Structure 1
Amino acid sequence: MRARSLAESFARFTLAAALAAGCSGSSDDGGSGGEAAGTGGSGSASVSSGTGGTTNPGSELGAGTMSGSGNSSERYETGLVSRDDTPYVLITNGWGPGFGSHTVSWEGTSFTVESMSGTAGSMGQPASYPTVFCGRYSVREVPDCGLPAPSASITSLRTGWRWAKNGNEGEYNAAYDIWMGNGTQLRGYLMVWLRDPPSYQPAGQPNSAHQGVTVANVPGSWNIWNGMVNGLPIVNWVRAEGNDSYEIEFDVMDFVRDAETRGLSVPGDTVNAVAVGFEIWEGPITNLKSVDFYVDVN
């Protein structure tokens, strides 16, 4: 589905929004995110070869019925897709000033960055962030996906993601982007990085008190970075460099509670959106794939 009418508003909005949700790793403050103290960990059923992982007992990954497909080289393409009849939106999202070109294909919540060229912006902005999401995110709200939802009303907010690097070793992450707010207004960000690239870092600073930590009910260990971007708080849980996780399932509220327990809570009483994708600082990228993604709100 081509939505050129969104392109102008997306172009105006996305630089601030995506930079805030993205990273600050310019060539001056870059370096290896893995230099932070503590060790990373491999997520449940992750595999070092990056082939997408294997299904865990009771996992919802790999079992969804996908619908809605497309292929585009447009910088700001959107596609309405679904998984098990729950609607999501795919955005190709070549938002960064260093964006060159890309081709993205999708079916349901699975998408492939078939090709991509670009460079990081002068302030360390990624060239692009191809993304699939549920909720109020960027310029659209997904109808009937279950988000936004007040935190107090959520019994569980299960999500899962499987992705495959397919030989891509370069400057990109694989990250959840969770927007917190009041349902209409954005108040802050939680990000969960399953891959930390060699030369770019999360927004904020490494929190020396919270390195190599675990999160209740979530596999693996994490290095926490936190700070402010565009006047809004952000908390990042990051796998140590070289310890990529290619598959994970968790309750988003466990990360919300973890931040609160550590005194790093983000303001807002509502989970506005849950998104996954690849922040890509530098090409070329070929056949980087998001294999499966779901959000289940109860």
Structure 2
Amino acid sequence: MRTRSLAFTLLTLAATLAAGCSESPDDGNTGGAAGSGGLPSASGSGGGGASGSGGSITGGTSAASGGTGSASGSGSTTAGTGGGGEGGTGGSGGTGGTPNPGSGLGSGIMEGSGSSSERYETALVSRNDTPYVLITNGWGPGFDSHSISWEGTSFTVQSMSGTAGSMGQPASYPTVFCGRYSVMEVPECGLPAPVTSITSLRTGWRWAKNGNDAGEYNAAYDIWMGNGRQLRGYLMVWLRDPPSYQPAGQPNPAHQGVTVTNVPGTWNIWNGTVNGLPIVNWVRAEGNDSSEIEFDVMDFVRDAETRGLSVPGDQVNAVAVGFEIWEGPITNLQSLDFYVDVN
């Protein structure tokens, strides 16, 4: 039985805590509470995401059914809307803009390496001289332990143990992000930026299961919309939908099996609110994981508007990726490459 979390209700609480943890709003209802400017997840405790029993928490918005998670993190990120889906190299940018030819997947020069078993570790990293922030983000009440290593925007969950919270919150949401997210650090990566100033907002992510084929985790983008400082809503893109957990909100019957202009694959849309803030999730069908994608974030913004699912806010605050993990053990789960290219 798939569950849905109330985690999103805690996102706003976590956002006021900005201590260094992140939560996410959308997956499996595990949305997380934002740290400094992020949404707290409803069920997340700490900087985790706010996933309920089926939501994800990756340092972004939390899931709608999540509970009132504790505020132990210093912020939270929202977890994603990713679901399974066929991999792809992503479509070309939405309304134009020339992608940086050196920004594509596989071309990154990574700097900033380390490893940690700390529940809430924050590390400054870079890819092709563009700064990002990594957060280990073991925010959920069911978190037990983890060991995470990183180099630039790539990271490996070497080991993780824990269980979903009573309200379906993920145990952790290790994340890398560009912009103003769930912790105090704000890398000078080009975000936040006004929507009207963005010609294209290209991003790409490649990750690998490495044997974690049936694990209870998602792989999700967590995109925060707002006014540059305050969070106003969430967009999540789930590249993997786990067996037992689902995004915040409800499946939108009018928008199932849809395509997004310039973006590869098909998506099931879930939408609702988290802590009073709107969230829209584009989710790959379960069993159709996408291990690689490149796209223009603005194509998802426009897709939401076209479908009447607009999220308030005139700026893109942050773009994050990571794994909302509800249950361990997980070993050697990898984020291989991630970039954001603001034009």
Both proteins in one fold, TM over 0.5: yes
Query: 2:256: which partner in 1?
Result: 211
Amino acid at match of 2:155: F
CA distance in 1, matches of 2:296, 2:185: 21
TM-score, with length taken from structure 2: 0.75
Contact preservation (8 Å) 1:179, 1:186: yes
Is the contact made by 1:75 and 1:95 (CA closer than 8 Å) also made in structure 2? yes
- For residue 11 of structure 1, report the CA deviation from its aligned partner: 7.0
State the superposition RMSD in angstroms: 2.3
Aligned partner of 1:148 in structure 2 is: 192
Name the structure where helix makes up a greater proportion of residues.
1
Partner SS for 2:303:
helix
Q: Secondary structure at the match of 1:10?
A: coil
Is 2:89–2:294's contact at 8 Å kept on the other side of the alignment? no
Aligned to 2:321: 276
Q: CA deviation at 1:43?
A: 3.0
Question: Which residue is 1:51 aligned to?
Answer: none
> Match of 1:137, SS?
coil
Instruction: Name the aligned partner's letter for residue 126 of structure 1.
Output: P
* Contact 1:24–1:204 under 8 Å retained in 2: no
Counterpart of 2:19? 10
Map of 1:1-298 to 2, 5 A cutoff? 9-10=18-19, 14=23, 16-17=33-34, 18-19=40-41, 22-26=50-54, 41-44=85-88, 60-168=104-212, 169-298=214-343
Distance (whole Å) between structure 1 residues aligned to residue 241 and residue 50 of structure 2: 13
| Whole-Å separation in 2 of the counterparts to 1:44 and 1:144 | 29
Q: Which amino acid aligns with 1:16?
A: A
Where do 5+ consecutive residues of structure 1 fail to align? Answer: 1-7, 31-38, 47-56
Larger Rg: 1
CA drift of 1:128 comes to: 0.3
Give the drift of 1:9. 4.5
Distance 1:134 1:142 in 2: 8
CA distance in 1, matches of 2:21, 2:103: 39
- TM-aligned CA deviation for residue 26 of structure 1: 4.8
In the alignment, what sits opposite 1:34? none
Which one scores higher on RCO, CA 8 angstroms, separation ≥ 6?
Answer: 1
User: What CA deviation, in whole Å up to 9, does each residue of 1:35-83 have, x standing for no partner?
Assistant: xxxx97413159xxxxxxxxxx998101110000010000000110000
Checking the alignment, whether the CA contact within 8 Å between 1:211 and 1:223 is kept in structure 2 is yes
Moved over 4 A (4+): 11-15
Question: Where in structure 2 are there 5+ consecutive unaligned residues?
Answer: 1-16, 24-31, 35-39, 43-48, 56-64, 67-82, 91-100
What is the number of residues matched between the two proteins?
A: 272
Aligned AA for 1:285? I
Distance (whole Å) between structure 2 residues aligned to residue 59 and residue 71 of structure 1: 25
Indicate the percent of aligned positions where both proteins have the same amino acid. 82
- Secondary structure of 2:305's counterpart equals helix
Distance 1:117 1:214, change over 3 A: same
Offset at residue 24 of structure 1 (A) = 3.1
1:143 Cα deviation (Å)? 3.3
Partner of 1:49: none
SS of residue matched to 1:19: coil
* Change beyond 3 A, Cα 1:16–1:58: closer
One-letter amino acid of the counterpart of residue 43, structure 1: G
SS of 1:219 mapped into structure 2? strand
Shift of the 214–58 alpha-carbon distance from structure 1 to 2, 3 Å rule, reads: farther
